[in-house]
Chain A
Protein backbone atom coordinates (compact mmCIF):
# COMPACT_ATOMS: atom_id res chain seq x y z
CA UNK A 1 0.00 0.00 0.00
CA UNK A 2 1.61 3.24 -1.21
CA UNK A 3 -0.52 5.50 0.99
CA UNK A 4 -2.04 7.22 -2.05
CA UNK A 5 -5.79 6.70 -2.41
CA UNK A 6 -7.95 7.13 -5.49
CA UNK A 7 -11.70 7.00 -5.98
CA UNK A 8 -13.63 5.60 -7.65
CA UNK A 9 -11.93 2.34 -8.58
CA UNK A 10 -14.06 1.87 -11.68
CA UNK A 11 -16.13 4.31 -13.70
CA UNK A 12 -18.36 3.47 -16.65
CA UNK A 13 -19.99 6.31 -18.52
CA UNK A 14 -21.18 7.38 -21.95
CA UNK A 15 -19.64 9.56 -24.62
CA UNK A 16 -20.19 13.27 -24.06
CA UNK A 17 -20.42 12.94 -20.29
CA UNK A 18 -18.25 14.52 -17.59
CA UNK A 19 -16.57 12.70 -14.70
CA UNK A 20 -14.41 13.61 -11.71
CA UNK A 21 -11.60 11.46 -10.39
CA UNK A 22 -10.29 12.03 -6.88
CA UNK A 23 -6.88 11.51 -5.33
CA UNK A 24 -5.56 11.84 -1.79
CA UNK A 25 -1.75 11.97 -1.57
CA UNK A 26 0.45 10.37 1.07
CA UNK A 27 0.55 12.25 4.33
CA UNK A 28 3.08 15.07 4.05
CA UNK A 29 3.42 14.97 0.26
CA UNK A 30 2.84 18.33 -1.38
CA UNK A 31 3.13 17.27 -5.02
CA UNK A 32 0.40 15.44 -6.91
CA UNK A 33 0.79 14.09 -10.45
CA UNK A 34 -1.83 12.70 -12.82
CA UNK A 35 -1.05 10.08 -15.46
CA UNK A 36 -3.07 8.31 -18.13
CA UNK A 37 -2.24 4.72 -19.07
CA UNK A 38 -3.66 3.10 -22.16
CA UNK A 39 -2.61 -0.21 -23.72
CA UNK A 40 -0.74 1.30 -26.65
CA UNK A 41 0.63 4.50 -25.10
CA UNK A 42 2.03 3.48 -21.77
CA UNK A 43 2.08 5.92 -18.87
CA UNK A 44 1.60 9.49 -20.07
CA UNK A 45 2.07 12.45 -17.76
CA UNK A 46 -0.91 14.80 -17.69
CA UNK A 47 -0.38 17.46 -15.03
CA UNK A 48 1.39 18.23 -11.75
CA UNK A 49 0.33 20.31 -8.76
CA UNK A 50 2.49 21.47 -5.90
CA UNK A 51 0.84 22.79 -2.75
CA UNK A 52 -2.21 23.96 -4.65
CA UNK A 53 -0.43 25.49 -7.62
CA UNK A 54 -0.09 24.03 -11.11
CA UNK A 55 3.60 23.17 -11.58
CA UNK A 56 3.88 21.33 -14.91
CA UNK A 57 1.66 20.30 -17.79
CA UNK A 58 2.07 17.36 -20.12
CA UNK A 59 -0.10 16.10 -22.94
CA UNK A 60 -3.34 17.05 -21.25
CA UNK A 61 -6.32 17.70 -23.50
CA UNK A 62 -8.26 20.97 -23.19
CA UNK A 63 -11.31 18.87 -22.21
CA UNK A 64 -9.40 17.78 -19.09
CA UNK A 65 -8.68 19.94 -16.08
CA UNK A 66 -7.42 19.43 -12.55
CA UNK A 67 -7.01 21.21 -9.27
CA UNK A 68 -5.43 20.67 -5.88
CA UNK A 69 -7.33 21.78 -2.80
CA UNK A 70 -6.03 23.29 0.47
CA UNK A 71 -6.13 19.87 2.14
CA UNK A 72 -3.85 18.71 -0.74
CA UNK A 73 -6.28 16.26 -2.29
CA UNK A 74 -6.64 16.62 -6.04
CA UNK A 75 -9.38 16.13 -8.60
CA UNK A 76 -9.09 15.43 -12.31
CA UNK A 77 -12.11 16.50 -14.34
CA UNK A 78 -12.72 14.90 -17.73
CA UNK A 79 -15.45 16.36 -19.92
CA UNK A 80 -17.03 15.72 -23.33
CA UNK A 81 -15.76 12.18 -23.01
CA UNK A 82 -14.81 10.20 -26.09
CA UNK A 83 -14.28 6.47 -26.59
CA UNK A 84 -10.54 7.08 -26.75
CA UNK A 85 -10.50 8.46 -23.23
CA UNK A 86 -11.05 4.96 -21.88
CA UNK A 87 -7.91 4.19 -19.87
CA UNK A 88 -6.44 3.77 -16.42
CA UNK A 89 -5.88 7.07 -14.66
CA UNK A 90 -3.25 7.17 -11.94
CA UNK A 91 -2.42 9.72 -9.35
CA UNK A 92 1.03 9.85 -7.75
CA UNK A 93 2.47 11.94 -4.96
CA UNK A 94 5.96 12.89 -3.84
CA UNK A 95 7.56 14.77 -0.98
CA UNK A 96 10.70 16.21 -2.47
CA UNK A 97 10.37 15.83 -6.24
CA UNK A 98 12.16 12.51 -6.13
CA UNK A 99 10.36 9.19 -5.88
CA UNK A 100 6.71 9.26 -6.88
CA UNK A 101 4.31 6.88 -5.18
CA UNK A 102 1.32 5.79 -7.19
CA UNK A 103 -2.26 5.14 -6.20
CA UNK A 104 -4.28 2.09 -7.28
CA UNK A 105 -5.81 3.94 -10.22
CA UNK A 106 -9.27 4.59 -11.64
CA UNK A 107 -10.34 2.50 -14.62
CA UNK A 108 -12.50 4.66 -16.89
CA UNK A 109 -14.65 3.01 -19.54
CA UNK A 110 -16.46 5.25 -22.01
CA UNK A 111 -19.24 3.50 -23.94
Chain B
Protein backbone atom coordinates (compact mmCIF):
# COMPACT_ATOMS: atom_id res chain seq x y z
CA UNK B 1 0.00 0.00 0.00
CA UNK B 2 1.29 3.44 -0.95
CA UNK B 3 2.16 5.60 2.07
CA UNK B 4 3.34 9.12 2.75
CA UNK B 5 4.74 10.33 6.08
CA UNK B 6 5.53 13.97 6.67
CA UNK B 7 7.70 15.39 9.43
CA UNK B 8 7.67 17.35 11.56
CA UNK B 9 3.93 17.68 12.20
CA UNK B 10 4.44 21.31 13.15
CA UNK B 11 7.34 23.72 12.78
CA UNK B 12 7.76 27.18 14.23
CA UNK B 13 10.41 29.42 12.69
CA UNK B 14 11.58 32.96 13.20
CA UNK B 15 11.41 35.14 10.12
CA UNK B 16 14.59 34.53 8.10
CA UNK B 17 15.35 31.19 9.77
CA UNK B 18 15.74 28.63 6.98
CA UNK B 19 14.63 25.01 7.43
CA UNK B 20 13.44 21.87 5.64
CA UNK B 21 10.27 19.79 5.68
CA UNK B 22 10.49 16.07 5.05
CA UNK B 23 8.22 13.74 3.07
CA UNK B 24 9.03 10.02 3.20
CA UNK B 25 7.15 7.76 0.85
CA UNK B 26 6.67 4.18 -0.22
CA UNK B 27 5.00 3.62 -3.56
CA UNK B 28 4.88 0.83 -6.11
CA UNK B 29 6.44 2.69 -9.02
CA UNK B 30 6.48 6.46 -8.60
CA UNK B 31 4.76 8.46 -11.31
CA UNK B 32 5.05 11.79 -9.51
CA UNK B 33 5.49 13.47 -6.13
CA UNK B 34 3.51 16.64 -5.51
CA UNK B 35 3.83 19.48 -3.02
CA UNK B 36 0.86 21.65 -2.09
CA UNK B 37 0.37 24.59 0.25
CA UNK B 38 -2.90 24.86 2.19
CA UNK B 39 -4.13 27.86 4.15
CA UNK B 40 -6.75 27.29 6.89
CA UNK B 41 -10.19 26.60 5.43
CA UNK B 42 -8.92 26.87 1.85
CA UNK B 43 -8.21 24.37 -0.91
CA UNK B 44 -4.67 23.06 -1.43
CA UNK B 45 -2.61 25.21 -3.80
CA UNK B 46 -0.31 23.38 -6.21
CA UNK B 47 3.41 24.13 -5.78
CA UNK B 48 5.62 21.51 -7.48
CA UNK B 49 5.70 18.16 -9.23
CA UNK B 50 8.84 16.00 -9.11
CA UNK B 51 9.13 12.94 -11.31
CA UNK B 52 12.52 11.33 -10.74
CA UNK B 53 15.27 11.09 -8.14
CA UNK B 54 17.69 13.98 -8.35
CA UNK B 55 15.12 16.41 -9.69
CA UNK B 56 14.86 19.84 -8.06
CA UNK B 57 12.36 22.66 -8.51
CA UNK B 58 12.34 26.19 -7.10
CA UNK B 59 9.74 28.88 -6.60
CA UNK B 60 10.61 32.05 -4.72
CA UNK B 61 11.79 30.96 -1.25
CA UNK B 62 10.84 27.30 -1.77
CA UNK B 63 12.94 24.52 -3.24
CA UNK B 64 11.78 20.91 -3.57
CA UNK B 65 14.12 17.95 -4.00
CA UNK B 66 13.51 14.26 -4.55
CA UNK B 67 15.36 11.02 -3.76
CA UNK B 68 14.16 7.45 -4.18
CA UNK B 69 12.70 7.40 -0.66
CA UNK B 70 11.95 10.98 0.31
CA UNK B 71 11.43 14.55 -0.72
CA UNK B 72 12.44 17.75 1.02
CA UNK B 73 10.86 21.15 0.85
CA UNK B 74 13.53 23.69 1.73
CA UNK B 75 12.37 27.11 2.86
CA UNK B 76 14.99 29.84 2.64
CA UNK B 77 14.64 33.01 4.71
CA UNK B 78 10.90 32.46 5.33
CA UNK B 79 8.47 35.30 5.85
CA UNK B 80 5.26 35.32 7.93
CA UNK B 81 3.22 34.92 4.73
CA UNK B 82 4.82 31.50 4.23
CA UNK B 83 2.86 30.26 7.24
CA UNK B 84 0.58 27.44 6.06
CA UNK B 85 0.26 23.68 6.04
CA UNK B 86 2.45 22.03 3.41
CA UNK B 87 1.14 18.78 1.96
CA UNK B 88 3.06 16.10 0.11
CA UNK B 89 1.37 13.54 -2.14
CA UNK B 90 2.50 10.67 -4.34
CA UNK B 91 0.99 9.11 -7.41
CA UNK B 92 1.87 5.60 -8.51
CA UNK B 93 2.15 4.50 -12.12
CA UNK B 94 -1.07 3.92 -13.99
CA UNK B 95 -2.96 7.15 -13.34
CA UNK B 96 -3.83 6.18 -9.78
CA UNK B 97 -5.22 8.66 -7.24
CA UNK B 98 -2.94 10.84 -5.15
CA UNK B 99 -2.04 9.62 -1.68
CA UNK B 100 -1.49 12.53 0.70
CA UNK B 101 0.52 12.85 3.86
CA UNK B 102 -1.01 14.61 6.87
CA UNK B 103 1.06 17.72 6.27
CA UNK B 104 3.48 19.94 8.15
CA UNK B 105 1.98 23.02 9.79
CA UNK B 106 4.50 25.84 9.40
CA UNK B 107 4.36 29.02 11.47
CA UNK B 108 6.77 31.85 10.70
CA UNK B 109 7.01 34.47 13.41
CA UNK B 110 8.05 38.06 12.66
Binding site for B on A (CB under 8 A): 2, 4, 33, 42-45, 48, 55-56, 58, 88, 90, 92, 97-105, 107
A99 and B43 form a contact (CB under 8 A): no
Q: How many A-B residue pairs lie within 8 Å, measured between CB atoms? A: 50
B49 and A98 form a contact (CB under 8 A): yes
How many angstroms from the CA of A33 to the CA of B34 in the assembled complex? 16
One of B52-60, B73-81, B98-106 contacting the partner: B98-106
A56 and B42 form a contact (CB under 8 A): no
Interface centre among A42, A90, A105 (most CB of B within 10 A): A42
Say which size band chain B's interface belongs to.
Answer: 20 to 34
How many angstroms from the CA of A55 to the CA of B42 in the assembled complex? 26
How many angstroms from the CA of A48 to the CA of B94 in the assembled complex? 14
Binding site for A on B (CB under 8 A): 32, 34, 36, 41-46, 49, 87, 89, 95-103
The distance from the CB of A22 to the nearest CB of chain B, in whole angstroms, is 15
Given A98-B49, A99-B49, CB of A33 within 8 Å of CB of B97: yes
Given A43-B87, A43-B100, A98-B49, CB of A90 within 8 Å of CB of B32: no
The distance from the CB of A38 to the nearest CB of chain B, in whole angstroms, is 11
B97 and A42 form a contact (CB under 8 A): no
Residues in A with CB closer than 8 Å to B97 are 33, 45, 48, 56, 58
Given A42-B103, A43-B87, CB of A100 within 8 Å of CB of B98: yes
B98 and A90 form a contact (CB under 8 A): no
B43 and A103 form a contact (CB under 8 A): yes
Q: Of all chain B residues, which has the CB nearest A55?
A: B95
B98 and A104 form a contact (CB under 8 A): no
